[in-house]
Amino acid sequence: MTVLLVLGPTAVGKSAVAARVAEEAGAEVISADARTIYRGLAIGTDRPPPEVLARVPHHLVGVLDPREGYDAARFRRDCERLVAEIHGRGRRAIVVGGSTLYIRALTRGLFPGPGADPKLRAELQARPLAELREELARVDPEAAARIHPGDRARTVRALEVHRLTGRPLSAAWGNERPFPWPLVKVGLTLDRGELGRRIEARVERMLAAGLLEEARRLWETLPPEAPAARTIGYRELFAYFRGEYDLPEARRRIVRNTKAYARRQLAFFRSEADVHWIDVTGRSPEDVAREVLARWREAEG
């Protein structure tokens, strides 16, 4: 039995489309989002609304304490377990998300490397990307050549592996364990101008829905090194709470950083093989869902 994988940049409408496909196909949704998994981040991560969560079973949504670390290896283990459980209930599985390392853990497999080291990772995350790239070029030039210069997450992981094992990450490439089920990969894309407008509108909607209050609750309770504290939308507001700039500037930075993140996601996903891309510009989620479902059925023959 195949697993549908719906990927694409933030704000493209993946969650709405996946929920509609799930209703039609008798499927359950597994979130591949590194921040939606945390409790207390409902507004800032644009979590599916309660009525959707009530209609369609969703997994890995709002289940983790925001102080807890979570990585691609753990996601892969959870995803395999959940797919097996879903299939055991006689239902289908849909994985949907935009967290690039989580998607790659499914599409390209994982090698048996060390788990994340929270202290080391926080130290690396705090350094400028240019410094990280220089270090990676020294210790693992093959990885430096293959990892996109703007991909901070994979650069940090490559350095983390080298620091923890003394061996380059690239030495393990080719030994990855594939995902146990065939993946039907569907990517959603959108006119760049329209995607930018959607991001701007979504930020306004989040602020109107109470993002400021949600962020303040987290700011008062989260340690600075917590993964959730680095999430776009919260980290800019945390700086506002510290008095580094005013609220309009915080809003501008949230929009700017979200657009930059969307560009990095698209560049990453474009390198994935066998993705059936769908341009959703001017189309309703229902219309797109019909095409996604048709593609899934076609891939199964």
Residue 113 above 80 pLDDT? no
What pLDDT is stored for residue 47 in this prediction? Answer: 95
**141's tokens:** 């030039």
Helix boundaries (H) for the chain: 14-25, 50-55, 72-88, 100-107, 118-125, 129-139, 141-146, 152-165, 192-209, 211-221, 235-241, 247-270, 285-299
Which position has the higher pLDDT, 143 or 175? 143
Who's near 108: CB < 8 A, 6+ residues apart?
176
102 part of a folded domain: no
Helix (H) or strand (E) holding 186: strand 183-189
Across 55-64, 153-162, 203-212, least confident range: 153-162
Q: 170 and 209 in one domain?
A: no
Q: What is the DSSP string of 148-180?
A: -TT-HHHHHHHHHHHHHHSS-GGGGTT-PBPPS
Are the beta carbons of 2 and 293 closer than 8 angstroms? no
With cut-offs at 50, 70 and 90, classify the pLDDT of residue 108.
confident
The alpha carbons of the chain give a radius of gyration, in whole angstroms, of 19
180 or 122, which is more confident? 180
| 197 and 252 housed in the same domain | yes
Of the chain, the percentage scoring pLDDT greater than 70 comes to 98
With beta carbons less than 8 A apart as the criterion, state whether 186 and 2 touch. Answer: no
Q: Do 216 and 256 have their domain in common?
A: yes
pLDDT value at 52 more than 80: yes
What's at 74, amino acid-wise? R
Structure tokens of 156? 């940090």
- Find the CATH number of the domain harbouring 229: 1.10.287.890
Q: Give the model's pLDDT for residue 229.
A: 87
Neighbour count for residue 289 (Cβ, 10 Å):
23
Residue 168 sits in a domain of what CATH number?
Answer: 1.10.20.140
Across the range 246-264, mean pLDDT stands at: 97
pLDDT in tens, 55-89: 999 999 999 999 998 988 899 999 999 999 999 99
Pick the more confident residue, 141 or 173. Answer: 141
| Of the candidate ranges 40-54, 64-78, 104-118, 210-224, the one whose mean pLDDT is the lowest | 104-118
The tokens describing 48, both together, are 């599916």
Q: What is the pLDDT of residues 234-245, one digit of tens each?
A: 999 999 999 999
Q: In this predicted model, what pLDDT tens digit does every residue of 165-189 receive, in sequence order? A: 888 888 877 667 889 999 999 999 9
213 within some domain: yes
Say what the pLDDT of residue 111 is.
66
Asked, for residue 165, whether it belongs to a domain, the answer is: yes
pLDDT at 196 over 70: yes
Backbone angles phi, psi at 115, to 5 degrees: -70, 175
In a domain, 222, yes or no: yes
Q: Is the pLDDT of residue 112 over 70?
A: no
Query: Residue 109's pLDDT is what?
Result: 81
* 53 belongs to a structural domain: no
Region 274-280: mean pLDDT is: 97
* 216 occurs within a structural domain: yes
Cβ contact 92:26 at 8 Å:
yes
Average pLDDT, the chain: 93
Do residues 165 and 222 share a domain? no
Q: Does 171 map to a domain?
A: yes
Taking 90 as the threshold, does the pLDDT of residue 294 lie above it?
yes
Residues 216 and 164 in one domain: no
Of 126-140, 263-277, 284-298, where does the model show the most confidence? 284-298
The residue among 125, 141, 175 that closes a domain is: 175
The answer on 135 and 164 residing in a single domain is yes
Residue 219 falls inside a structural domain: yes
Q: Tell me which residue range forms the domain holding 207.
A: 193-260
Considering its fold, how many domains does the chain have in total?
Answer: 2
Q: Do 230 and 200 sit in the same domain of this protein?
A: yes
What's the pLDDT at 174?
Answer: 67
- Tell me the pLDDT band of 153, cut-offs 50, 70 and 90: confident
- Taking CA atoms, 205 is separated from 53, 198, 214, in Å, by 20, 10, 14
Q: Using the predicted structure, report yes or no on whether residue 266 has a pLDDT greater than 80.
A: yes
